Structure 1
Amino acid sequence: MSWQTELSSWMFPSYLATSDPPAVGSKAPSSPQFVMPATDGKPTIVTFLRHCGCPFAEKTYLSLRAAASQHPDVHCIAISHSDAPSTDRWLQSLSDSSQDSAVNMVVDDERRIYAAWGLGVSSFWHVLNPWSLYSVYALGKQDNIWNRPTESGTRWQSAGSFAVAGDGTVKWSKPNVSADDVPDFEEALKALG
């Protein structure tokens, strides 16, 4: 990690055409890069993370990991747009990585899966509004989750989470409204029944 990689995370990424986020009741998007694992009929929670190093991505991942360990009847998938080596190092830096096997990590460093699920480049206000900036400090004080080095990925990529029934129908759709928006996976589990 160097100051150049930190600086590059602030550069706007290349443009990708982005679909609308899937609505509740619609079929989950499918693409050559990512096909839902619904062949066994189990429901799935998919969460798209902000860049590895972001404290809100860490909080989201840890929350998903906790839900996955308590609900083995639900597939839990996290998607990272940081490259594979950076994602692996980030995962290793998180405490209690023994539970990581409960979450399937998918790397989408070209952001094509993000785009298929309606998650594009966010606005300046989405990332740098005063509430999000304060939330970085509050999350650090409350949960001891602080910014980590950013080796790859962009701070401008939006995130979101979705719950999908075993038949591929979206039951819960939550694109993030700001950088500090951390999903409530209990809501997702309730939506799945």
Structure 2
Amino acid sequence: MSVSLLANAIQEELQSFRTPPEKHVAPVPKVGDRAPESAQLSWPSGRPTIIVFLRHCGCPFAEKTFRALTALSTTHPEIHCIAITQASQAVTDKWIIDVGGEWDADVVADPARDLYAQWGLGLSSAWYAMGPGAVYSALRLGRDEGIWNRLTTAEGGNRWQVGGAFGVDPAGFVRWVCVGGGVGEVPAFEEGVEALGRPAGVGLAA
């Protein structure tokens, strides 16, 4: 990579550290609540749904989470799997290819972060996103599983956004919530599957 291209890549990467505009963030839905309604999300008739809100496209933990979700989409085809990104559609589409494809999961790009706010997911602190625990977890993930941070762009999302995961039953009620852990937390999808009344399968921690 030439010096100019490297400089541009670094500049783009730094954009992901910029604090985005503040948004009104609703409370995180609780188990038993009706899932927030939106034209961007639909609940298929007769099928439960697992929804995952990812951090920025380039985050190694987002990549591991997405890979686990796509594995879930094939081992449990009776569950509707949705991943939400905060990147632009173009960046989202490229990132999906880079990390191995969406398989049977649906992916929704939400660069305005409206869905994140609707589901109670706001911005984190610097300690949450860049603290020693987060850095150590990232190094462990790269060393143990070969999943490293990927260069991102200004359209790839910001590093301060909190992620999370939810399970919604066919009637539209929340049955599983996984929000509030550390930046390196990957949702325990087995728990989500069981909360939706399905026996947990194998291969969900891919």
- Secondary structure (helix, strand or coil) at the match of 2:84 reads strand
Counterparts of 1:30 and 1:5, CA distance in 2: 34
Counterparts of 1:108 and 1:19, CA distance in 2: 16
| 2:49 matches 1:44 | yes
Query: How far off its partner does 1:174 sit?
Result: 1.0
Deviations 1:85-107 (A, max 9, x none): 11111111113x3xx23010000
Counterparts of 2:194 and 2:145, CA distance in 1: 25
| 2:178 matches 1:174 | yes
* Paired residues of 2:24 and 2:117 also in contact (CA < 8 A): yes
Could you tell me which of 13, 18, 29 is aligned with 1:6? 13
Query: Moved runs in structure 1, 4+ residues, more than 2 A?
Result: none
Counterparts of 2:25 and 2:32, CA distance in 1: 20
- Secondary structure (helix, strand or coil) at the match of 2:103 reads helix
Aligned to 2:203: none
Equivalent residues in 2 for 1:17-166 (5 A)? 17-32=24-39, 34-38=40-44, 40-95=45-100, 97=101, 100-151=102-153, 152-166=156-170
- Aligned residue pairs total 188
* Paired residues of 2:43 and 2:172 also in contact (CA < 8 A): no
Counterparts of 2:13 and 2:130, CA distance in 1: 16
Aligned to 2:202: none
Counterparts of 1:155 and 1:55, CA distance in 2: 11
Look at both structures and tell me which one has the larger radius of gyration over its CA atoms.
2
| 2:193 matches 1:189 | yes
Counterparts of 1:169 and 1:26, CA distance in 2: 6
- Secondary structure (helix, strand or coil) at the match of 1:171 reads strand
Counterparts of 2:42 and 2:116, CA distance in 1: 14
Counterparts of 2:36 and 2:11, CA distance in 1: 35
Deviations 1:126-168 (A, max 9, x none): 1122111100000011111000011221000100000000000
Counterparts of 1:28 and 1:68, CA distance in 2: 20
Ranges in structure 2 where 5+ consecutive residues have no aligned partner = 1-7, 198-206
Ranges in structure 1 where 5+ consecutive residues have no aligned partner = none
1:157 alignment partner AA: Q
